[in-house]
Chain A
Amino acid sequence: MHPAPSVIVFTTLSGLGFGLLFWLGIGLPAVSYLGALLYFALAFALAVGGLLASTFHLGHPERAWRAFTQWRSSWLSREGVCAVAALLVLGLHAFLLVFFGKSIAVLGFVGAALALGTVFTTAMIYTQLKTVPRWNTPITPVLFLSLSLAGGALLAGQGWAALVLLLIAGVTQIFWWLRGDRAFSDSGTDLASATGLGSIGTVRSFEPPHTGTNYLLREFVHEVGRKHAQKLRVIAGVAGFAMPAVLLVLFGFGWFAMALAALLHAGGVAASRWLFFAEAEHVVGLYYGKR
């Protein structure tokens, strides 16, 4: 899949944002007034920024409101609904905290659930796609959630939680990658099934239907070199999980260590997200002799 930079940067950021919102919702840390203002401002900036960005790549953002209507069938619609609900609920929660120093726990917990729900629905948009075998696994939401929670924990200054969650996310990530590398061939979809011609002999794409490019090739066919991908995986693994964890272990949970860890983590997640798209192969590529 085409790794559009905007989508990568902003899914990364909104993941962090909703992660942070989760922690703030459940009152960790329990902030109010100025502290609440700073924390929530950061969280909202990240989350809303991500959402806004996702409307940039729409052909008709002016009709975006229609995307809330199909929550009964569409994960994308559900994501929208969840996100707006999360922002509204936590917005109210934040408002009360910032201006009145008042925390209504239920509101916070509901908001936190909605924040997690948003991350989950986002993940499900990808997970549901049988057409992209690498994504089409329950591990995808686990990965998204664990990353979001870990990142949120780092930002929220939840040292131990962050450490544990980083470990979980790291393991999930490795597991996700390893599974992902087999996913396409395990999916049972290949050029033989795509064309139905497998029973005659080995099938090969001879000539594409057009010598130039098209929407499908631009959107779905992206080839990354194996070496390049491995390098990025190492970078993502080291920056996103290992180094933050090591930092926390070596230097404790002070704000500087936490902030540095969070930054490193965000960078690592961005790299992982780039790979998430770039390495994902859509089955339509088969028709073009690509996978």
Chain B
Amino acid sequence: MTLLPETTDKKLGLVIDLDTCVGCHACVISCKGWNTENYGAPLSDQDAYGAEPVGTFLNRVHSFEVTPDETPAQLIHFPKSCLHCEDAPCVTVCPTGASYKRVEDGIVLVNEDHCIGCGLCAWACPYGAREMDGEAKVMKKCTLCVDRIYNENLPEEDRVPSCVRTCPAGARHFGDLGDPSSAVSVLVEERGGMDLMPEQGTKPVNKYLPPRLKDDISTAAPQPLAPVAAEAKGFVGWLDKMLDTV
């Protein structure tokens, strides 16, 4: 059903820490691996060993360069997957009801058996979070690893999205953003978590933690060190003095 639920019981989503992401693409590949073997059709690749390889990925890592006025330019690695928006335009545009948002946890999913592959949902998503699979011709998107997070066959601690589990830097957090006391909500609160393209009115569930202030050592550093001696001779004298104290 492509009408959006008024509210959802939970708002499961990801919190991505732009201060910590080193841009290693581990989450990209583990997502591809998991989702190829699990939910729906495999994420296929065309011209895999040829001149223009192109495949379906549900999570991709961009890199942006940001140049402040005073300090040196910064590089920010920027993972991006479906933000499981509260006002998900991708859902309401879908003519078939294949796209839907779950009432119980807010996950936005595609029922691949109903999808006609019209692509309109991808047009409606501002974030580029949906990709049509070249082989299966149905729309693919991040499932928030719905087949992991409730999967009783997995040990409890592994019931998190594949990308979260694999992220070596711990830059990806998973939880209920609807619950203000959850660890993810606390993190968002503390670190000023932000929405992407708030003006699009999609109300993303996923949040991004902004990079911390950088390159402020010259201003923030303590006083320069004061010399104990001018040259080597004086220094040896100082050594003598000091040694008696240690």
Q: Is A–B contact present in the complex under a CB 8 A cutoff?
A: yes
Q: Which of B65, B68, B89 contacts A130 (CB 8 A)?
A: B89
User: Chain A contacts of B210 at CB under 8 A?
Assistant: 196-197, 199-200
**CB closest chain-B residue, reference A205:** B64
Residue contact B97 to A66, C-beta cutoff 8 Å:
yes
Residues of A within 8 A of B118 (CB): 57-59, 67, 76
On whether the beta carbons of B2 and A63 are closer than 8 Å, the reply is no
Residue from the set A199, A208, A284 with the largest chain B CB neighbour count within 10 Å: A284
Q: Is B93 an interface residue (CB 8 A)?
A: yes
Task: Decide if B235 is an interface residue (CB 8 Å cutoff).
Answer: no
Q: Among the listed stretches A12-20, A83-91, A104-112, A209-217, which one makes contact with chain B, having 4 or more residues with CB under 8 Å of it? A: A209-217
* Among listed A21-29, A140-148, A173-181, A186-194, interface-contacting one: A186-194
Measured in the bound complex, the distance between the Cα atoms of B230 and A192 in whole Å is 51
Checking B62, B116, B136 against A64 with a beta-carbon cut-off of 8 angstroms, the contacting residue is: B116
Is the pair B201, A130 in contact by a Cβ cutoff of 8 Å? Answer: yes
A287 close to B128 (CB less than 8 A): yes
When distances are taken between beta carbons in the complex, the residues of chain B under 8 Å from A182 are none
Q: How many residues from B make CB contacts under 8 Å with A?
A: 68
Task: Report the bound CA distance from A287 to B125 in whole Å.
Answer: 13
Q: In residues 37-63 of chain A, which contact B (Cβ within 8 Å)? A: 57-61, 63
Q: Pick 23 A–B contacts, CB within 8 A, sort by A.
A: A59-B119, A60-B117, A67-B96, A67-B118, A69-B97, A70-B96, A72-B2, A125-B93, A125-B120, A128-B93, A131-B200, A188-B199, A193-B196, A195-B78, A196-B195, A205-B64, A214-B55, A214-B57, A219-B122, A282-B123, A284-B125, A287-B80, A288-B62
Check A210 against B60 for contact (C-beta < 8 Å): yes
Residue A270, interface by CB 8 Å: no
Are A197 and B95 in contact, with the CB atoms below 8 A?
no
Residues of chain A contacted by B28 (CB below 8 angstroms)? 209
Instruction: Tell me the bound Cα distance from A98 to B183 in angstroms.
Output: 71
- A209 with B61: in contact, given A60-B116, A77-B95 (CB under 8 Å)? yes
Contact of B96 among A63, A130, A209 (CB under 8 A): A63
Q: Are B64 and A197 in contact (CB under 8 A)?
A: yes
* B3 to A, closest residue via Cβ: A73
Instruction: Report A134 CB to chain B, min CB distance, Å.
Output: 13
A61, A130, A202, A207: the one within 8 Å of B126 (CB): A130
- A216 touches which one: B114, B115, B131 (CB < 8 A)? B131
Interface contact B116-A213, CB-CB below 8 Å = no
List chain A positions with a Cβ less than 8 A from chain B. 1, 57-61, 63-64, 66-70, 72-77, 80, 125, 128-132, 187-189, 191, 193-197, 199-210, 212-216, 218-220, 282-284, 287-288
In the complex the two chains form, is A196's CB within 8 Å of B60's CB? no
CA distance A192 to B56 in the complex (A): 27
- B52 in contact (CB, < 8 A): yes
Of the listed stretches B69-77, B152-160, B171-179, chain A binds B69-77
Residue B238 interfacial (CB < 8 Å):
no
Asked whether B200 lies within 8 Å of A189 as measured between CB atoms, the reply is yes
What does DSSP make chain B's interface, helix, strand, loop or mixed? loop
Q: Whole-angstrom distance from the CB of B58 to the nearest CB of chain A?
A: 11
Complex Cα–Cα for A234 and B4 (A): 43
Report whether B119 and A197 are in contact in the complex, using a CB–CB cutoff of 8 Å. no
Asked if B144 lies at the interface with its beta carbon under 8 angstroms from chain A, I say no
CA A213 to CA B196, docked complex, whole Å: 23
Q: Which residue of B lies closest to A192 (CB)?
A: B66
> Is B60 a contact of A66 with CB atoms below 8 Å?
no
B103 in the interface, Cβ–Cβ < 8 Å?
Answer: no
Q: Which of B52, B66, B119 contacts A212 (CB 8 A)?
A: B52
| Complex Cα spacing A203 to B64, Å | 7
Could you tell me if A283 and B120 are in contact, using CB atoms closer than 8 angstroms?
A: no
Q: How far is the CB of B42 from chain A (nearest CB, A)?
A: 15
Residue among A189, A212, A220, A287 with max Cβ neighbours from chain B (10 Å): A287
CB proximity to A under 8 Å, residues B14-62: 18, 25, 28, 52-57, 60-62
Q: A66-B114, A67-B96, A196-B210 are in contact. Are A212 and B54 (CB under 8 A)?
A: yes
Complex Cα gap A128–B63 (Å): 30
Cβ < 8 Å to A, chain B residues 89-133: 89, 91-98, 114-120, 122-128, 131-132
CB <8 Å contact, B116 and A196:
no
Chain A neighbourhood of B64, CB < 8 A: 191, 195, 197, 203-206
Given A129-B124, A131-B89, A202-B67: 4 more A-B contacts, CB < 8 Å: A59-B136, A60-B137, A209-B28, A213-B52
> Chain B residues with Cβ under 8 A from A287's Cβ?
62, 80, 127-128
Name which of A73, A75, A209 has the most chain B CB atoms within 10 A of its CB.
A209
**CA gap between A132 and B126 in the complex, in Å:** 9
Q: Report yes or no: B138 in contact with A74, Cβ–Cβ below 8 A.
A: no
Chain B residues, CB < 8 A from A284: 125-128
Point out the residue from A131, A210, A212, A218 that lies within 8 Å of B123, measured CB to CB.
Answer: A131
